[in-house]
Amino acid sequence: MSTVNQGALELLETRRTVANVSLGEPGPSEAEVRRLIAIAARVPDHGKLTPWRFIVVRGDARAALDARLGPIYRARFPEATAEKTRLEETRFQRVPLTIAVVCTAAEHVKIPMFEQEMSAGAATQNLLLGAHALGYSGQWLTGWLCYQPEARAVLGLKDGERIAGFVAIGTPTVPIVDRPRPAYEDVATEWSA
C-alpha cells in the first residue's frame, strides 16, 4: 500500500492564482523550466496523441514579443484605456516566465476532440501545480491574443491550433489571498438508484 503524501496533498489544497500584475522576480531557472515542461507533459492522454505543445517565453524574448503584439492590440482596440493598453503592451515582460499551452487537438478516428482538449487543460493545470511546488505562483490567462489572427501568427500558431492558456509564472509581490471555494454539497451529488 502506498503511503499518504502530505506534501502533495497540501500543495493541491493550497494552490491559488496570483494575478500576473502581482508576479515578479525571481522566476524559474533553466533547469526548473525544463522540469515544468516535463511535469506538464505527464498528463493523461487518450491514445497517446500528445495533443499539445508548449511555447516558452522568457528573457529578452518577452519584450520582443510585446513589441510585436503591442501595435496589433492598439490597432484592434483603439478605445482601450491608457492603463489597459500599457498592461497589454507589457504583458510578457512584466512576468519572469510565461508558458503558452497550445492545444493541437485534431479530428481522429477514435479519440474525440473534446478528450484531446481536456488533456491540454490538464497540461496547463500541471504547469500551475508544478510552479506552486517549486515555490512560485502563477495565473492561467487567455484573452484577445488567443483569437486575433495577427497575434496568432506572431505566436507561430498553425491553422487548427488553439491556445489552451498562457501560464504566467513568478514570485508574488503581494500577500496571497484565497477566494471562497465551493463546498462539497455545492458541486457533488451522490448517485443512487
23 vs 145: CA distance, rounded Å: 20
Toward ligand FMN, which CB reaches closer, 111 or 141?
Answer: 141
* φ, ψ of residue 96 in degrees (nearest 5): -60, -35
| Using rule CB under 6 A, residue 148 touches ligand FMN | no
How distant, in Å, are the alpha carbons of 18, 93, 99, 168, 182 from that of 174? 9, 18, 22, 16, 25
Which residue blocks in the chain are alpha helix, DSSP H?
6-14, 30-40, 60-76, 82-89, 113-133, 149-155, 184-187
Toward ligand FMN, which CB reaches closer, 37 or 146?
Answer: 146
| Using rule CB under 6 A, residue 137 touches ligand FMN | no
Each residue 31-70 as x (binds ligand FMN by CB under 6 A) or -, in order, gives: ----------------------------------------
| Using rule CB under 6 A, residue 77 touches ligand FMN | no
- The stretch among 34-42, 69-77, 101-109, 133-141 that binds ligand FMN (CB under 6 A) is 133-141
38 neighbors 56 (Cβ within 8 angstroms): no
Toward ligand FMN, which CB reaches closer, 28 or 165?
Answer: 165
Toward ligand FMN, which CB reaches closer, 48 or 181?
Answer: 181
Toward ligand FMN, which CB reaches closer, 19 or 110?
Answer: 19
120 vs 104: CA distance, rounded Å: 8
| Distant-in-sequence, close-in-space partners of 107: CB < 8 Å, separation ≥ 6 | 113
Q: Would you tell me which residues interact with ligand FMN (CB under 6 A)? A: 16-17, 139-143, 165, 179
